[in-house]
Chains A and B, each alone.
Chain A
Amino acid sequence: MLKINNLHVMVDDKLILKGIDLEINQGEIHAIMGPNGSGKSTLAKVLAGHPKYQITEGSIEFFDGQEYINLAELEIHERAKSGIFLGFQYPTEIPGISNLGFLRESVNNVWKAQGKKLLGKDDFIDFLHPIMDILEMKELFLDRSINEGFSGGEKKKNEILQLMILDPKLAILDETDSGLDIDALKVVAEGINRFKRPFNSTILITHYQRLLDHIIPDFIHVLGDGKIIRSGTKDLALELELKGYNWTGVGK
Chain B
Amino acid sequence: MRRPAPARAGTARPARRRPRAPRRPNWLAGTGALLWLLVVGLPVYVLLVASVRPREGYLSEGPLTPPADPTLDNYVGAVRNGFLTFVANTAVVTVAVAALVVVLAVPVGYAVVRARGRWAGGVLRFFLLGLAIPAQAVVIPVYLIIRELGLYDTLAAIILPTAAFALPVCVLILTGSMRDISEDLYEAMALDGAGSVRTFLRLVVPLSRPGIATVATYASLQAWNGLLFPLILTQSRDQRVITLGLFEFQGQYRVDIPGMLAAVALSAVPILILYLVARRSLVNGLMGVGGK
- A, B: real partners: no
Residues of chain B touching chain A, judged by Cβ–Cβ distance below 8 Å, are none
